[in-house]
């Protein structure tokens, strides 16, 4: 008789297992397919120089792109110490933990408990009246197991969603690194440009100090009036004020670089603007490479994948769930007989649950998930369009600054010649002092502009490098 009962229980358990495995093949969860974005990428760069292959300047390591030893050192320090990078790293660790949890979704839940129960029965109760000893103790060691069959692919989709969230955090970390490298490089180049502007301004101050002495001598000779002397003194003080402004800008820029490197404000050793040259062919690569190069674009797509898989989960929640639970262990009224064969007990329960009335919660969850998936899709396309816009702007700026630089050089040469000639003519009484003042201001402005043009050339290359997704590899 006992053998027959065990046989029937085995058959029931086997039947439930077969049903579970059969239903498990009936997935309703769909596989993610990248949306059609050919329209968004075909003319993304807005340039007539269409690339013919996927090679891009973004494939170049930042250690190769930036040759200045100080800049290389600062980028390395920034990647190690920058607070945003460290925050992003902690986000990766958290996402990794969730991803591990998602992978464990297929495994059963198991827990073990050890219990002691002491009970004092009342003599005036049904059972207490018939017992001479109303005091009882019960000992048990119980193991519980529960497992849900992934009938509709809910667990699988949840696993993929957590993996996508993890990869999104990794891409976010890469995006922070790319932005950091760009910010450090641009800040460093700004420092070099300010150093050069300060150098020219100091030279200008020395020249104008000498000019004040000269113009005073000309006044004593009766060739110019006091107005000319006053105007020269005003020019001299204007240059001194400009020096203060540049020194203030240098101080603040060094503080900005300190924050980027995760350091307290301090002075930084650095090279010279004249020796900065990014000797790399400006190759864009085809627009589709942004999908694999731009960390923010990758992060946006992983966000889309996560939303897609969570939509699968929300849809699966509307269908029945099959759960198997089992418990077993030892129970005894006497501690010394706890692990006796007669103390063994076990039970197994299989159930198929279909949600019916839940105040529309599951349907709402599904509708919200679909809406969030559409939002993620639009965000993905928007990010791609922004990336293309940044590439176009950076490329156009680089080409424009390259053209302007040659014009600026010619302008400086012409104005310096005009300044020298004006000063000589004034000394010989053939020119007005106002002509000299005007020539000086234009020459100084042109020299400062040529420094700025050189700076903008460097920045445009850095911006293009960032826009194409370079730096994080």
With bands split at pLDDT 50, 70 and 90, how would you rate the model's confidence at 255? very high
Residue among 115, 136, 257 nearest 188 (CA): 257
Rg (CA), the chain: 38
Q: What angle do CA 280, 286, 292 make, to 5 degrees?
A: 90
- CATH dotted code for 31-105+153-319+361-467: 1.20.1600.10
Q: What is the pLDDT of residues 66-81, one digit of tens each?
A: 989 999 999 999 999 8
Residues 429-456 have a mean pLDDT of 79
Q: Assess whether the region 1-28+113-148+322-353 and the region 31-105+153-319+361-467 belong to the same CATH fold.
A: no
Q: Is the pLDDT of residue 247 over 80?
A: yes
- Number of other CB atoms surrounding residue 128 within 10 Å: 12
Give me 92's structure tokens.
């990766």
Domain boundaries, the chain: 1-28+113-148+322-353, 31-105+153-319+361-467
Q: Please state the pTM of the whole predicted model.
A: 0.79
Distance CA 312, CA 42 (A): 31
Q: Is the pLDDT of residue 307 over 80?
A: yes
Per-residue model confidence (pLDDT) at position 349 = 78
Q: Is the pLDDT of residue 398 over 70?
A: yes
With bands split at pLDDT 50, 70 and 90, how would you rate the model's confidence at 407? confident
DSSP per-residue string spanning 269-283: ----GGG--------
User: String of b and e for 135-150 (b: at least 16 CB within 10 Å)?
Assistant: eeeebbbeeeeebbbb
**What 3-state DSSP class applies to 125?**
coil
Query: CA torsion 188→191→196→200, rounded to 10°?
Result: 170
Which residues contact residue 174 at a Cβ distance below 8 angstroms, ignoring those fewer than 6 apart? 295, 298, 472
CATH top class, domain 1-28+113-148+322-353 = mainly beta
What number of helices (H) and strands (E) belong to the chain? 11, 4
Q: What angle do CA 32, 38, 43 make, to 5 degrees?
A: 145
Per-residue model confidence (pLDDT) at position 187 = 94
Q: Is the pLDDT of residue 5 over 50?
A: no
Q: Do residues 297 and 44 touch, judged by C-beta distance below 8 A?
A: no
Distance CA 15, CA 17 (A): 5
| Distances from the Cα of 392 to the Cα of 259, 386, 395, angstroms | 30, 10, 5
Q: Is 430 exposed, middle or buried (0-12, 13-18, 19+ CB in 10 A)?
A: exposed
């Amino acid at each position: 008789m006992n053998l027959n009962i065990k046989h029937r229980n085995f058959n029931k358990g086997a039947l439930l297992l077969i049903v579970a495995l059969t239903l498990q093949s009936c997935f309703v969860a769909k596989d993610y397919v990248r949306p059609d974005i050919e329209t968004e990428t075909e003319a993304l760069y807005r340039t007539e120089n269409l690339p013919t292959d996927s090679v891009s300047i973004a494939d170049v390591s930042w250690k190769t792109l930036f040759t200045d030893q100080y800049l290389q050192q600062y980028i390395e320090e920034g990647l190690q110490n920058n607070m945003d990078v460290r925050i992003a790293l902690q986000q990766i660790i958290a996402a990794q933990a969730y991803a591990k949890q998602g992978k464990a979704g297929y495994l059963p839940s198991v827990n073990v408990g050890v219990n002691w129960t002491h009970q004092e029965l009342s003599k005036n109760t049904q059972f207490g009246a018939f017992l001479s000893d109303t005091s009882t103790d019960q000992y048990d060691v119980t193991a519980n197991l529960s497992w849900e069959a992934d009938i509709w692919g809910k667990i699988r989709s949840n696993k993929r969603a957590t993996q996508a969230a993890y990869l999104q955090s990794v891409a976010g970390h890469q995006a922070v690194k790319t932005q950091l490298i760009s910010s450090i490089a641009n800040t460093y180049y700004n420092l070099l440009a300010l150093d050069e502007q300060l150098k020219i301004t100091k030279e200008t101050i020395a020249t104008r100090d000498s000019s004040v002495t000269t113009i005073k001598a000309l006044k004593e000779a009766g060739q110019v009036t006091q107005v000319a002397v006053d105007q020269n003194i005003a020019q001299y003080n204007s240059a001194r004020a400009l020096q203060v402004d540049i020194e203030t800008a240098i101080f603040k820029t060094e503080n900005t670089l300190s924050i980027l490197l995760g350091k307290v404000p301090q002075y930084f050793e650095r090279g010279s603007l004249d020796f900065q040259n990014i000797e790399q062919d400006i190759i864009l690569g085809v627009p589709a490479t942004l999908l694999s190069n731009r960390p923010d674009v990758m992060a946006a797509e992983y966000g889309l994948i996560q939303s897609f898989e969570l939509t699968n989960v929300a849809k699966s929640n509307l269908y029945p769930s099959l759960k198997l639970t089992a418990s077993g262990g030892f129970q005894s009224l006497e501690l010394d007989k706890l692990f006796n064969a007669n103390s063994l007990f076990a039970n197994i329960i299989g159930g198929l649950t279909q949600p019916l009335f839940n105040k529309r919660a599951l349907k709402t969850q599904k509708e919200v998930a679909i809406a969030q998936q559409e939002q993620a899709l639009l965000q993905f396309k928007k990010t791609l369009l922004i990336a293309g816009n940044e590439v176009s702007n950076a490329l156009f700026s680089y080409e424009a600054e390259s053209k302007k630089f040659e014009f600026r050089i010619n302008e400086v040469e012409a104005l310096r010649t005009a300044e020298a000639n004006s000063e000589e003519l004034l000394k010989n009484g053939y020119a007005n002092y106002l002509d000299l003042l005007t020539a000086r201001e234009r020459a100084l402005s042109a020299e400062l502009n040529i420094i700025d043009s050189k700076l903008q050339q460097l920045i445009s290359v850095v911006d293009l490098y960032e826009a194409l997704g370079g730096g994080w590899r």
